[in-house]
Amino acid sequence: MQSFMLRCSEQHVFCIGLCETGTPELAEALGALGMAVRTDPPLDLMLGGQFPEAAEGYLGLAGPSAAAMFRELDLAFPDSKFILTLRTPHEWLEAIAHRSHTLGLSDAPARLYGGGSFDRVSMLATYELHKAAVLAHFVGREDDLLLIDLFGGENWDVLCPFLRVRPPRRAFPRLERHLPGSMPMAA
């Protein structure tokens, strides 16, 4: 475990999935591996390009601003790892619709998704465009990017080999499905 901690001190990990793809659970899992990840870093620092300040005291960032600014984070933190959390587009659309109608979209996700109102067509296009942009950005750098579907059951078995660490002796963090009538699920 000591060699992992030394490696982490030299490398950041960024969770760049959209809302409702399991980024908070991924951040918790990284914490269980000894990597403190700041969820929802201050938007003013992120928009101001003050990435070292936003990440100060943490080995990673997660949340809508990290997802929206993955290219800039890649430039600011060379040799970092990036993790794109995914789920089926239909399931994601239902979860984001539920979030939009019951919880509202905060300022950062509203900007990321092209406005403050919910529109299924534009939301789904945003999901697909984000995934395509991430894949295009990391072409030829597959060792720097992990695609993981936590809702599809992927967890320690996919995450740990990517980070070159052993899985901890604990369950993966519980996933909240955020669908009407659904129950939280352990992966």
Residue 97 maps to a domain: yes
Res. 150 pLDDT band, cuts 50 70 90: very high
Residue 107 maps to a domain: yes
Q: Got the DSSP string for 9-58?
A: TT--EEE-PPTTSSHHHHHHHHHHTT--EEES--HHHHHTT-HHHHHTT-
Q: pLDDT at position 11, please?
A: 83
Q: Is the pLDDT of residue 13 over 50?
A: yes
* Rounded CA separation 107/115 (Å): 9
Q: Is the pLDDT of residue 9 over 70?
A: no
Q: pLDDT at position 187, please?
A: 34
State the CATH number of the domain containing residue 9: 3.40.50.300
* Tokens 């030394």 found at: 6
- Are 128 and 87 in contact by the 8 Å Cβ rule? The answer is no
* Rounded CA separation 47/98 (Å): 27
Residue 66 maps to a domain: yes
Q: What is the pLDDT of residues 162-173, one digit of tens each?
A: 999 999 999 999
Q: Is the pLDDT of residue 4 over 80?
A: no
Q: Which of 172, 129, 81, 120 is nearest to 73 (CA)?
A: 81
Domain membership of residue 106 as a residue range: 2-163
Q: What is the pLDDT of residues 54-105, one digit of tens each?
A: 999 999 999 999 999 999 999 999 999 999 999 999 999 888 887 776 655 5
* Rounded CA separation 13/22 (Å): 15
- pTM for this model (two decimals): 0.84
Residue 11 maps to a domain: yes
Residue 174 maps to a domain: no
Number of domains in the chain: 1
